[in-house]
């Protein structure tokens, strides 16, 4: 978690170097960069905010509510409420009422949504899983992350569903290499397209994080 704090801090306090490198789309407009930097400056001063960024921006389909987040994070509802309010006021989160419960999710329409999501993915290593693992295994139609990381929980175990055909020895070799790069364990499930269609409900694929290939296998089923 501390590493992600440092990433955000370096991006903010050094806009001409690391900030521009990690947010290349923003580097063309210095005035806009300053505004974004000020906004991000309000995000990174607590680990709770970083947990919330991971929760909502790793998989933008994730939704949650105050008490659920407090239980998951092991923190008080008051501490979580303060951070949720700040992120909502910054328009990085959207909130809707469902009865007496306020449900939160990432604001995908925000101008820096993609930039924050990319940093979060780099932090947990999802980018490396796609680049070093899924893309190098050959006949893979699609790759999805399910389980904890699909829910924005940095548990240390990435569950990866690969749709296609792979060489088992190659899979083991590339998996171990990627695990060493990202310092997290990877558990893989390889399915052919027919198997994937049959199991997608049990795997909760509609709430999975698509990371590589053609995200059309679900609709084709």
**Token pair recorded at residue 12:** 């903010």
| pLDDT exceeds cutoff 60 at 163 | yes
- Which tens digits make up the pLDDT trace of 127-158? 999 988 888 887 899 999 999 999 999 999 99
Q: What is the mean pLDDT of the chain?
A: 81
* Closest to 129 in 3D by CA, of 70, 81, 171: 171
- Which tens digits make up the pLDDT trace of 192-219? 999 999 999 999 999 999 999 987 555 4
Statement to judge: residues 8 and 111 lie in one domain = yes
Q: Which of 59, 92, 116 is the last residue of a domain?
A: 116
Decide which of 126 and 20 is more confident: 126
Residue 134: the pLDDT is 84
Q: Which of 87, 116, 145 is the last residue of a domain?
A: 116
Rounded to an integer, the average pLDDT of 154-172 is 94
200-205, long-range: CB < 8 A, 24+ apart: 203/144, 203/146, 203/161, 204/146, 204/150, 205/144, 205/146, 205/161
- Count Cβ atoms below 10 Å from residue 90 Cβ, excluding itself: 15
Residue 50: the pLDDT is 83
Q: Using the 8-state DSSP alphabet, how is residue 134 labeled? A: G
How many Å apart are CA 149 and CA 12, to the nearest integer?
Answer: 26
Confidence class for position 45, pLDDT limits 50, 70, 90: low
Rounded to an integer, the average pLDDT of 68-76 is 94
Q: Which of 89, 116, 143 is the last residue of a domain?
A: 116
Statement to judge: residues 76 and 112 lie in one domain = yes
**Token pair recorded at residue 160:** 């990866």
Q: Are 20 and 77 in contact (CB under 8 A)?
A: no
Q: Which range among 11-20, 44-53, 59-68, 94-103 shows the weakest confidence by mean pLDDT?
A: 11-20
The residue segments making up the domain with residue 111 are 2-116
- Please list, in sequence order, all residues whose beta carbon lies within 8 angstroms of the beta carbon of residue 216, skipping any fewer than 6 positions away: 142
């Amino acid at each position: 978690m501390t590493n992600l704090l440092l990433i955000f801090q370096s991006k903010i306090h050094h806009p001409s170097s690391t900030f521009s490198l990690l947010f290349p789309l923003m580097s063309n407009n210095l005035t806009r960069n300053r505004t974004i930097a000020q906004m991000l400056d309000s995000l990174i001063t607590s680990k709770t905010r970083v947990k919330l960024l991971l929760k909502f921006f790793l998989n933008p389909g994730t939704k949650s509510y105050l008490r659920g987040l407090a239980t998951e994070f092991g923190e008080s509802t008051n501490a979580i409420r303060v951070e949720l309010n700040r992120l909502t006021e910054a328009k990085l989160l959207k909130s809707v009422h469902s009865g007496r419960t306020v449900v939160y999710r990432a604001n995908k329409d925000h101008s820096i949504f993609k930039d924050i999501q990319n940093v979060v993915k780099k932090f947990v290593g999802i980018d490396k899983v796609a680049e070093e693992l899924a893309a190098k295994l050959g006949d893979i139609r699609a790759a999805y992350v399910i389980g904890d990381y699909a829910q924005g929980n940095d548990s240390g175990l990435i569950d990866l569903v690969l749709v296609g055909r792979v060489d088992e020895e190659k899979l083991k070799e590339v998996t171990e290499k990627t695990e060493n790069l990202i310092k997290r364990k990877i558990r893989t499930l390889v399915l052919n397209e027919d198997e994937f269609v049959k199991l997608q409900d049990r795997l909760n694929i509609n709430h999975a994080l698509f990371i590589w290939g053609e995200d059309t296998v679900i609709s084709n089923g």
